[in-house]
Each structure stands twice: as structure tokens, then as C-alpha cells.
Amino acid sequence: MTKIGLEIHCQLTKLESKLFCSCKANYREFKPNHNICPVCMGLPGSLPRLNQKAVKSATSIAMALSCETPEKIAFFRKNYFYPDLPKNFQITQLNVYGDMSVGGEGYVRVENKKIKIRRIQLEEDPGRIIYEGASERTKITLVDYNRAGTPLVEIVTDPDFESPRQVRVFLNILSDLLENLGVAEPGLEGAMRADGNVSIEGGSKVEIKNIGSFHDLEKALHFEITRQQSLSERDIEIAQETRHWDDRRKITISSRSKEEDQDYRYFLENDIPWVKIDQNTRDTLKENMPESISSKKERYVEKFDIAPQVAEIIASDKYYSKLFENAYSDQNAKDIANLITTDVIGFIDTKEKQQNSKITSKHLSDLIDAINSKIITRNSAKIALQEIMKSGKDTKDVLQEMDLGQVSDSSEIDAIISQIFEDEKQAVIDAKKRPETVNFLVGKVMQKTKGKADPVKTLELIKSKLNG
Amino acid sequence: MVDEEEIIKVAKLMKIDLEDHSEHVSRVKKMLEYFDILDQIDLSSEEITSQLKSLDELRKDEFIPHDKRLIDSLKNFREHYVRAPKMN
Amino acid sequence: MNLNTSILKYIDDVKSGSFTVEEFISATLQRIKDIEEDVHAYLSLNDSTINDARLIDKKIASGEKIGQCYGFPISIKDNICISGTKTTCASKILENFIAPYTSTVVNRLQNEDVIITGKTNLDEFAMGLTTEFSAFGPTKNPWNLDYVPGGSSGGSAASVAANECLASLGSDTGGSVRNPASFCSVVGLKPTYGLISRYGLISYANSIEQIGPMTKTVKDSAFLLNILAGQDNNDDTTIDSNNVNYLENIEDGIEGKKIGIIKEMTTEGLSSEVSTAAKDAIGDFESLGASCEDVTLPTIPYTVAAYYTITSTEAGSNLARYDNIRYGYELESEGYEYNSYISKSRTKFGPEVTRRIILGGFVPSAGHAGKYFLKALKVKSKLISEINNAFEKFDYLIAPTAPVQPFRFGEKIDDPVTLMLLDYNTVTANLTGKPAISVPYRVINGLPIGMQIMANSLEEKSLLRSAYALESKTNLPEVPL
């Protein structure tokens, strides 16, 4: 059986400042080497200063993943030389003197499987290396330290995944979860990275590093599984090693020499005192945590009898759940949910559109009221939504301006039906012979009324006309 | 007895070039031999502790821009990036 | 102009108009000019001292608010950053490093109108006991130019002892303020760990080091502590000083206090002169009304090994950043491969620093941490419990600061173990974080001996009181230089 484990790094870009200094956490808008200070540059005599909110955010993540959270946390130095490390050590967390990283063991449910989380830790991102020219012929390494010190949360899972597809589902769940917590923006480029380890039945564990995106991760995992399987088929032993992902050639390459001789000489980072996270703080964090996606979904299903798939869609996206939560009443919850997942989602399918849309919860509840009071048809509501999204005008005004009021007056509809019967003589004959084809005529009426005719009434009247 | 070869290996890890400084190895060896004294003390009951602070004593999360010219005052900086030697 | 004065007397004199700031600073600069070639306490001099002095005189004349320091001259150890000035740590690898920011301690002093005369010499990166490991030549002891001034803050101690300034800021990792204070006959204080901010102090062993004032008198030390102490937003390891006034009640004496004589530090390994001085000091304490009794701290014989294990581990890590990539000396990266570039740059480290870095790679490494580094950490814990126990019974713990008097250049430098053992009496205060002060006690054959007093954490006020009391019993000659 294939076993895959992950090591995910997520930047806490929703924080204002870096993990150990007051430079900006989200470095992306700066010119190279213009988001730095003596601390994140590791200048002689500088000292790290731990970001309070980073600890809280990381603890919230740990809680959201059902991880144990310790009473006190500590930081350690991981010592090695690399041009993107200003101090030539990284400040990170370890669990050698007991559990001292922000999160201990936890789990995430993926479909029906429980993926175990081993630990969660806070650490600083190194700077970014840009190679001048092709990597083999590079004469110089270029470094940008804007990213150095950006807060990272590292999430390590047990090798519980059975397929790359399962990994993908997990990463989507994790991204939604982190976004829902308001601590990260997984969509930002480079904000979430994952390394993996893979072993197939009877084979050793192989680590894969240097994977740039989730997209690449899936590719890398597929490649690696295939590579290991072909070795196994030829009775060749799969070496336990670290390989790195070559993005250009889309293959994994053994990096044996680089990793093996490394001795990180881990020891406590004494410039940062141990931090007490008492029960009070943890309780407060837990209370203030936005409701988890799964419990939201459960609530929607149980309380409002909303279909599970519909509930899942709304719960998973902060934008929709906010719309829903502010729009529903005990009577119209189901309708609002359906309106969101059938129509709103069709128009507003990107984060950008979400940001620019002018639809409010009031618009939705007004529309549902209008539908239920038979002022407009469901169809008209859809048209109205498109306009509201752009203009944000009051529902009543839009309905009036666009003349979307439902035509429910029987004589009005009757008149139109008569017209249609004139125009579609063949269809009328068909409908009399085979009743199921009557919808064609209903459709025609809707077309003629630009969707405003009351569909129920229309059908009634057509049927009686056919029979009568 | 401390292995001299190991001392040389460690020096390499610490990016210390020992070519003209082999006398360092014997001196380091002497110091390490003095440290053997640590084997003589009973430390079985000792735990490691540290300064302890509470969450609210930590730095508030604020963006405070630093002097943009910092990079100019450091060396090896040319046209935006810091220039480092090539990696293998 | 009598340069052999104290900060407090200087301030009185300026206030009363006995001389202007410019006059005193001028005389100080002349003194530096006259003797620096012999003493070599300074690595660099501040060229705006006279201007700074004039500005302060102007302020005084116009009745403007003046900082507490009234322009008294202070020197700063060259491992403490001052913006726009060279900060070399007496190392070739930082020969041209100009700090782009100012340390908190210097900031606090400058806000009180101090005048900085210059940066003083030290053992390279503060690793050493004699200042012989400076890459720019040693400092000489003003009491006898053939003898070492102690280290690593040798330049700081010598500059104060030789009247080239009225005070200095040194740094103390294993005795580096107290040891040279003892060797040069000045007062040297290492505060409780965390009391004085380390922001801007170039790290050597960050878990135990502290910046400490070096002065002519105990009261001057208290005066400086008032300005320097207290929580700093730039240093997470600092603690609140609770606005203690360290000068208040400093003359109250030590009647009825209990003093523990640390047996392990006062029996073996002392020269006969130091041993005699120690016995006399005990007699003085008793005549001041305190009761003295032997106390044993059985972990002390292991402290030097633990100290060097811990500090070399931290130094190996703290000095890793010196790869000449972001700052350093001129060496174009193009054409070099990463590892060879770094190794070549790091040949600029001196021999002692090189050795400590190698040690620092060895003792915490995966195969050896259990034997060395982890044991050293446990020695630290054990020592802390022992000394806390001792402080339940005693108010102060005393011993001579150094086991010997100053010695000739080159005498101790060849045997690493002999050199390490010079720290025997001082590392305990660093490993435990307790405050300790060296008080000049005696000069025999022209060479100084200091006495060390330790108190419990954050008990500096009480500590200074005991130091003042002892100081009042001394009658020391003036420096011959």
C-alpha cells in the first residue's frame, strides 16, 4: 500500500509583521531588499522579538486541527549555512524537552479517513534566492531578504495518505480551513508549500523536497510513485533517501550528498524566553475561533434541513457563509441556500468577483421574499441578481427598472397562451397527444414574458386549455 | 580520547579552513579532554529550565517600516539583490 | 585638571562652575594623546567630542534641561554598536563594519548627555581573559605596562584606570568585566541577567552575557545602573527594574548581614597575595558588622568546563553569520563557489575564536551532545539550585575576583587549560544569572587585587551597598601612569 506523508509550510500573511521583527509579514509589494531591518537581516547585535499574534494564530491553527496545545512553548536554533539565511541558523521549534511547539498530535478528516497530524510548529521563512542565468552556468547567486523572517507554520502529517488524489483533497480542506480562520491566504503565490515523503508497499521512505506549489506536489508524488514502482518491478531496492523536485524536467533527483552530512546542532534559542500559554488564553482563543467548516455544515444540515452538498459549498467559503448567515430566517433558510448555490455561485466564482460584487444579504432575502410572494419568478430573480451584483441597487428598484415583476394575472397569461397556441400549432397538437411535451409550450410562454410569467399558473392554464 | 579526524570534520562543517592551522587541532583536543570532568558529576535529577514570560508581554503585531536605505549601507549589494557566491 | 575624579564629583564640579565640560574633555583628550601609544586602550576615537562638549556647555549656560550625565566622558567596548561608527569586536572580519544602528545602552546614555570618547579594545569577539587575543594588538595594564590588563574588557578597564575617561561599558560573559576590573583596580559590575539590554551588544554567548559598567567608584556604578537598567522593547530577555534607585541608601552599611565565603573559590589555586587579601577582606566585612561563614557549592569545580562547553556552542552559532556575504570586507563573490568563499572569509578570525568555533561545532553535535553540551546545561541547572539554596541563608557570597594578580604578557597564553581556569571564580555568576561586582581592594607590588561580591537576582541595590561598605575600608594608591 502506498504511503504518503506531508510537511506543509504556510505563511501567516494575515499578520501585520514578521515573526521576530516589525517588517511587513507579506513582503510581496516591496522592491527587493526593501522590507528589511537589523533584526531580520541578522546584523551583529540584533535580537529577535517574538510576535504575540503569530503565537495566537498558530495556536488557533493547532486547535482547528484538533491538536494538543502545550502550556509553554520554546524556540530552537537549526544551524546550517545557506545564503538565504541571514544568521546562518533558522529559529524554529522542536519537541526535545517535552512538547514545546505550538501544536502536538491532531488529525484532519479527509473523506472517510482520519489523517493524523504529528505536530505544528512556528518558524521563520528564509530569504529568496534567485539564480542568475541557468542554474548550471550560474556565476553568482542573487538573494532577496524581504521574505526572511516571514512567519511560517509548519504542519507535519503522519504518512497516512494513500494516494495523490487524497493529498489534493486534504490540501483543499486545509486551505479552506486556514482561510476560514483568517490567518492565511493560501491563494497567494508561494504562501503555501508542501514537501512530501513517499513509500510503496515493501519499499523505503523517500523524502521529496523543493516542491514549489500544490500543483507540482501532485506531479512529484505521481512521478515518485511511478519511479518506485518501476524499481520494485525490476527487483531493485528503493533507497531510503532525500530527493529534490526538478521543476524544469519534472522529475525527482537524488540529493544524497547535500543532506546526509548535515548536523543541525539544535539547541534552545536563548534570546526568546519560553512563553506561557495558560488555560485562560487557550479558552479565549477557542471561543473566538470562527466556527469550523465542518461544524457549520453540520449546523446547516441539522437546523435548516439543507441538502448536505449545498451545506458543504456554503460552509466551505467564507464569502457564501457570511451571505447566508446574514440573510436567512427560520422560514427561508433553505431557499436562501439554494439561491446561493444555484445562482450566486454561477456569477461570482472567483475571489476577485467576490471582492467586487455588490450583492448583500438583504438583496438575497428580498429576492426570496419576492419569489415566495409570487411577485417575481425564480428566473427573474436570476436576472435581477446579475444586475444587483454590478450596481448594488435596492432589490425593489431593480425589479421595477427591469420590469421583472411576475406576471400572475390569469387573463394576462391567458392572452399570451392564446398567442402561443396560434404560433405553435404543431406543438399544441403534440401536447394533446403526449402530455409530457407540454413543457415546450410553457417554455415558450416564459420566453415571451421574459421569464416573468408564473410558471405554475402558466402550466395550469395551458393544461386546462389543452383539455378544454 | 578525542579523534583528531573528527575535529577536522567538524571544522569543515563550521566553515573553518584548517590548512595552516593544524596546531588548533591539538589545542582543541586539550580543551575537550579537560571537559571530561563533566563525566564525574551526578546530573541524573537535573532538568533544563529557562526564563518564562506570558503571552501579553510579547511584541504587538504592528508593521513599522525600517529605514529603506539599510541595504545601501551593507556591502555586496548591487541593483536590488545581494550577490552571493554560486551554489554547487 | 585632576582627571582622577569620579562621575559624581565631576558633575558637582561642572554644576558649581569649577570647570566647563569643554575644559575637562579637552584635558581628557590630551591625556589620551599622551598615553595611548603606551596603553592602547582604544581602537577608535570619537572625533566630535569637543563639539559635543561645547554643545553641552551651551545648554548649561542657557539654562536648558541637561541630561543627568552633564557631558562626562565614557568609553564603550568595541563590541557594542553605535550608529555610524566602526564596531569591530577587535576582529579582522569586522574591520570595516560600520554599525547602522545604536545599541540601547548607548542610546540611554546619549539621551542623558554623556560624551563618548571612543571604542575600547577587547579580546576578539570577547573571547579571552587578557586582551592578548585582540586582532589589533593587546592593551597594556596602566599599573605596569608589561602586564596584562585582564579581559575581555581590557581596553575598557585600562581606559578608566588610566584616567582616559571616567567610566566605560564592558561586557561580561564569564568574568569579562570583573576580571579586568580586578586587574586594573576599578569597579566592575555584572548585573542580573536581563537587567541591562543586550540590543546592540554583538553576541558571543547570549544566554549568559550582560553589559556592565566599569567605574572608579561604587557610587558611580550605581549612578550608571540607574540610567541603563530596565526593560527594553528591543530585547525580549530584559526584565523590569521596577524603577529602583540604586544610589538610594547606598551608604546604609551591612550591619547584621550574613556573608558566605565560597570555599571552592577561596582555598585552592589562589596566589599567596590573593589569599592574604581575601582573609583581610573577610576581616573588613566583619568589622563592618557582618557575619562571615564558609559555604560550599559542590558544583563549582565543574563550572569552567560547563561554561566553555556552553559558550563555545553559542559562539559557534552566533558567529555563523560572519560569512562576508551581507557585510564584512571587500571580496567579490563572483568566481567563487559558496563553501570556499565562506571558508576563505572566515580565515580572518583569530586563533582563539577559530578554536572556540570548532569546539562549538563539536560539543553540541549529534554524536557528542550527550557527553558535553547536555551535561553542561545540567551543571548549570544544578548550580542554580545550589546557589539559590545558599541565598536562603546568606545575603552575599564573596571570593576574590581572580585567583592571581595580573601577570606578564605571554605568560599564560600557551596552555589553554591554565587560561580557562582564570575564570574559575567568575563564571558562576554568569551561569546562574546572579549579579556580581568586583571592588578594587588592594595593590601589592604595584599589581591590583579585587574582591568579588555576589547577591541574589535583582538585589543590585543591596549588592552595591555592600560594595560601598567594603570600598570605604580601602585605601588605594593612584595609578602610576
C-alpha cell belonging to residue A168: 489534493
Tell me, yes or no, if C375 comes closer than 8 A to chain B by beta carbon: yes
Strands A113-124 and A151-157: antiparallel
Nearest to A139 among C79, C100, C334 (CB): C334
Of C308, C309, C288, nearest in space to C419 by CA: C308
Q: What is the pLDDT of residue C384?
A: 96
| Phi/psi at C223 (5° precision) | -55, -45
Residues on chain A touching B59 (C-beta within 8 angstroms): 22, 49-52
How is C384-403 classified by DSSP, letter by letter? Answer: HHHHHHHHHH-SEEEEESSS
A74 vs chain B: nearest CA distance in angstroms? 9
How big is the A-C interface in CB pairs under 8 Å? 101
| CA angle C364–C369–C371, rounded 5-degree value | 135
Is pLDDT of A330 > 80?
A: no
Instruction: Provide the residue ranges of all domains of chain B, joining segments of one domain with +.
Output: 4-40
C-alpha cell belonging to residue B4: 583528531
Q: Which of C105, C124, C326 to mutate to test the interface with A (most CBs of A within 10 A)?
A: C326
Of A80, A240, A92, nearest in space to C365 by CA: A80
B77 vs chain A: nearest CA distance in angstroms? 9
Tell me, yes or no, if A265 comes closer than 8 A to chain C by beta carbon: yes
| Phi/psi at A432 (5° precision) | -70, -40
Q: What is the pLDDT of residue A425?
A: 86
**Mean pLDDT within A195-216:** 89
Position A270: which residue type? N
Burial C415-451 (b: 16+ CB within 10 A, else e): ebeebbbbbbbbbbbbbbbbbbbbbbbbbeeebbbbb
**Residues whose CB falls within 8 Å of the CB of residue A282, separated by 6 or more in sequence, listed in order:** A59, A63, A69
Give the helix/strand (H/E) hosting A40.
none
Nearest to A15 among B61, B68, B81 (CB): B61
Q: Which of B47, B63, B69, B72 to mutate to test the interface with A (most CBs of A within 10 A)?
A: B63
Q: State whether A44 and C361 contact (CB < 8 Å).
A: no
Q: Establish whether C371 is a catalytic residue.
A: no
**CB-CB contact of C86 with C129 (8 Å):** no
Question: What is the domain extent for residue C127?
Answer: 7-254+406-471
In chain C, residues 306-365 whose CB comes closer than 8 Å to chain A: 313-314, 316-317, 320-321, 323, 325-327, 333-335, 338-339, 342, 361, 364-365
Of C55, C149, C10, nearest in space to C447 by CA: C149
Position C187: which residue type? V
Q: State whether A44 and C237 contact (CB < 8 Å).
A: no
Q: State whether C302 and B47 contact (CB < 8 Å).
A: no
> Beta partners for B54?
A276
Break chain C down into helix, strand, coil percent, rounded to 5.
40, 15, 45
Residue with cell 537587567: C195
**Mean pLDDT within A39-61:** 97
Q: What is the pLDDT of residue A136?
A: 54
Q: What is the pLDDT of residue A133?
A: 53
Strands A267-268 and A274-276: unpaired
Q: Which residue has the higher pLDDT, A133 or A87?
A: A87
Interatomic CA distance for residues B30 and B22, integer angstroms: 13
DSSP 8-state symbol, C45: E
Interatomic CA distance for residues C280 and C134, integer angstroms: 35
C-alpha cell belonging to residue C58: 551651551
Residues on chain B touching A22 (C-beta within 8 angstroms): 59, 62-64, 66
CB burial of residue C149 (10 Å; 0-12, 13-18, 19+):
buried
Alpha helices in C91-207 (DSSP H): 104-110, 154-161, 178-184
**CB-CB contact of C80 with C201 (8 Å):** yes
**Residues whose CB falls within 8 Å of the CB of residue C428, separated by 6 or more in sequence, listed in order:** C262, C265, C297, C300, C303, C383, C387, C434, C454
Q: State whether B66 and A36 contact (CB < 8 Å).
A: yes
Nearest to A77 among C317, C361, C365 (CB): C317
* Other CB atoms within 10 Å distance of the CB of residue A170: 23
> Model confidence over A91-125: pLDDT tens digits?
999 988 788 999 999 998 887 789 999 999 999 99
**CB-CB contact of A278 with B54 (8 Å):** yes
A410-467: which CATH architecture?
A: Orthogonal Bundle (1.10)
| CA angle C285–C287–C289, rounded 5-degree value | 80
How big is the A-B interface in CB pairs under 8 Å? 116
Rounded to two decimals, what is the model's pTM?
A: 0.86
Instruction: Determine, yes or no, domain membership for C79.
Output: yes
Tell me, yes or no, if A138 comes closer than 8 A to chain C by beta carbon: no
C-alpha cell belonging to residue C101: 544602528
Q: What is the pLDDT of residue A357?
A: 87
**Mean pLDDT within A24-39:** 95
Q: State whether B53 and A277 contact (CB < 8 Å).
A: no
Q: State whether B80 and A37 contact (CB < 8 Å).
A: no
Is pLDDT of A298 > 60?
A: yes
Q: State whether B49 and C381 contact (CB < 8 Å).
A: yes
Burial A58-70 (b: 16+ CB within 10 A, else e): bbbbbbbbebebb
Tell me, yes or no, if C296 comes closer than 8 A to chain A by beta carbon: no
Instruction: Determine, yes or no, domain membership for C286.
Output: no
C168 vs chain A: nearest CA distance in angstroms? 18
- Neighbors of chain A with 3 or more C-beta pairs under 8 Å: B, C
Name the residue in chain A with its Cα closest to that of C339.
A81
Q: What is the pLDDT of residue C82?
A: 97
Interatomic CA distance for residues A466 and A265, integer angstroms: 88
Is pLDDT of A134 > 60?
A: no
**Positive/negative CA dihedral, A400, A406, A409, A415:** positive
Q: State whether A142 and B83 contact (CB < 8 Å).
A: yes
Tell me, yes or no, if A268 comes closer than 8 A to chain B by beta carbon: yes
Q: Which region, left, alpha or beta, applies to residue C137 given φ > 0 means left and ψ of -120 to 50 means alpha?
A: left
**CB-CB contact of C423 with C179 (8 Å):** yes
Residues on chain B touching A36 (C-beta within 8 angstroms): 66, 70-71
Residue B37 CA to chain centroid, in angstroms? Answer: 24
Q: State whether A43 and C235 contact (CB < 8 Å).
A: no
Of these residues, C134, C152, C171, C466, which one is catalytic?
A: C152
Instruction: Determine, yes or no, domain membership for C370.
Output: no
**pLDDT band (50, 70, 90) for residue A370:** confident
Domain with CATH 1.10.10 in chain A: 410-467
Q: State whether B46 and C299 contact (CB < 8 Å).
A: no
| Phi/psi at C399 (5° precision) | -170, 165
Q: Establish whether C434 is a catalytic residue.
A: no
- Neighbors of chain C with 3 or more C-beta pairs under 8 Å: A, B
Of these residues, C77, C216, C219, C380, which one is catalytic?
A: C77
Tell me, yes or no, if C279 comes closer than 8 A to chain B by beta carbon: no
Interatomic CA distance for residues A179 and A14, integer angstroms: 10
Domain count, chain C: 1
Name the residue in chain B with its Cα closest to that of C335.
B85
Of these residues, C176, C185, C221, C241, which one is catalytic?
A: C176
Q: What is the pLDDT of residue A258?
A: 53
Instruction: Determine, yes or no, domain membership for C302.
Output: no
The CATH number of whichever domain residue C45 belongs to comes to 3.90.1300.10
How is A393-412 classified by DSSP, letter by letter? Answer: --HHHHHHHTT---B--HHH
Q: Which of A141, A260, A285 to mutate to test the interface with B (most CBs of B within 10 A)?
A: A141
Q: State whether C207 and A79 contact (CB < 8 Å).
A: no
Residues on chain B touching A32 (C-beta within 8 angstroms): 80-81
**Mean pLDDT within A321-348:** 86
Residue C261 CA to chain centroid, in angstroms? Answer: 23
Residue with cell 428580498: A366
Q: State whether A273 and B80 contact (CB < 8 Å).
A: no
Q: What is the pLDDT of residue C334?
A: 82
Regions in chain C scoring below 70 on pLDDT: none
CB burial of residue C19 (10 Å; 0-12, 13-18, 19+):
middle
**pLDDT band (50, 70, 90) for residue B78:** low
Nearest to C321 among A88, A265, A273 (CB): A88
Nearest to C100 among B27, B28, B70 (CB): B70
Q: Is the peptide bond before C152 cis (omega within 30 degrees of 0)?
A: yes
What is the strand order of the sheet A76-79 is part of? A89-92, A76-79, A267-268
Interatomic CA distance for residues A135 and C416, integer angstroms: 46
Report helix, strand or coil for C441. strand
What is the strand order of the sheet A192-199 is part of? A106-110, A113-124, A151-157, A3-11, A192-199, A206-209, A241-246, A251-254
Which of A36-45, A238-247, A289-298, C324-333 has the highest average model confidence (pLDDT)?
Answer: A36-45
Q: What is the pLDDT of residue A260?
A: 52
Q: State whether B35 and C308 contact (CB < 8 Å).
A: yes
How far CA A27 is from CA of A15, A147, B74, in Å, comes to 11, 6, 20
**CB-CB contact of C361 with B11 (8 Å):** yes
Q: What is the ipTM of this complex?
A: 0.95
Torsion of the alpha carbons at A372, A376, A377 and A383, rounded to the nearest 10: -130
How big is the B-C interface in CB pairs under 8 Å? 145
**pLDDT band (50, 70, 90) for residue A441:** confident
Q: Establish whether C176 is a catalytic residue.
A: yes
Q: State whether B71 and A97 contact (CB < 8 Å).
A: no
Interatomic CA distance for residues A60 and A68, integer angstroms: 11
Nearest to B17 among C308, C343, C365 (CB): C343
Is pLDDT of A315 > 80?
A: yes
